[in-house]
Amino acid sequence: MLQLLIFILMGTVLLWFGYSLFFGIGKGSKQSPSFRAPKKTSSLLHEGIPGAPKTCPVCSARLEQGERVKSSAFPSMGGTDRLMYIAGCPYCLSGQRERHCPVCGATLKLDQVLIARLFDKPTRSHVHVLGCSQCRGQRTHS
Question: What is the rounded average pLDDT of the residues 11-27?
Answer: 74
Per-residue pLDDT of 41-74, as tens digits, reads 444 445 556 656 688 888 888 888 888 889 888 8
Name the more confident of 21 and 127.
Answer: 127
Long-range contacts of 93-99 (CB under 8 A, 24+ apart): 94/37, 94/38, 96/38, 96/43, 97/43, 97/46, 97/59, 97/61, 98/59, 99/58, 99/59
Per-residue pLDDT of 99-109, as tens digits, reads 988 888 889 88
Most confident of 5-14, 37-46, 68-77: 5-14
Q: Please give the full DSSP string across 66-120, using - where no structure is assigned.
A: T---EEEEPPPSSSSEEEEEEEE-HHHHTTSS--B-TTT-PBPPTT--EEEEEEE
pTM of the model: 0.60
Give residue 75's identity as a one-letter amino acid code.
P
Dihedral sign for Cα 103, 104, 107, 112, please.
negative
Task: Kindly tell me if the per-residue pLDDT of 28 is higher than 50.
Answer: no
Mean per-residue pLDDT over the chain, rounded? 78
Name the more confident of 20 and 87.
Answer: 87
pLDDT band at 32 (very low <50, low <70, confident <90, very high): very low
The predicted structure's pLDDT at residue 42: 47
Burial class (CB in 10 A: 0-12, 13-18, 19+), 48: middle
Euclidean distance between CA atoms 55 and 64, whole angstroms? 9
3-state SS assignment for residue 42: coil
